Amino acid sequence: RKEVEQDPGPFNVPEGATVAFNCTYSNSASQSFFWYRQDCRKEPKLLMSVYSSGNEDGRFTAQLNRASQYISLLIRDSKLSDSATYLCVVNPSGGKIIFGKGTRLHILP
């Protein structure tokens, strides 16, 4: 099992729809989890951290399921500007942050 796995997509979603994707991780001792967003030919940027109790930031909701070792990202009322690649990030501690390969999202007008 790879350390961090994501469905590469692409997810093609009409504007205004809700979309969700998951990320699984293999190291049960992992401590910290994040979602990053990367636009074409740009550097990744932090979208949100993922907390054990789940957390929300506007239209974005992140959740962690430690028992099943996955995190999820839900985007409500999707906008054209949400089109990007979303990277799952896991920090198992010790300095070696692990990135998933990313899920591509295309919001269709």
Interacting residue ranges for another protein, rule: CB under 8 A: 8, 31-32, 34, 36, 41-46, 49, 87, 89, 91, 95-102
Tokens 């300095």: give the residue: 95
CA angle 87, 90, 92 (to 5 degrees): 165
Cα 88 to Cα 3: distance, rounded to the nearest angstrom: 11
Q: How far is the CB of 109 from another protein (least distance, A)?
A: 26
**Which pair of structure tokens corresponds to residue 53?**
């109790």
Choice between 76 and 101, CB closer to another protein? 101
Choice between 44 and 76, CB closer to another protein? 44
Q: How far is the CB of 68 from another protein (least distance, A)?
A: 22
Q: How far is the CB of 41 from another protein (least distance, A)?
A: 8
User: Does 8 sit behind a cis peptide bond, omega within 30 degrees of 0 on the bond before it?
Assistant: no
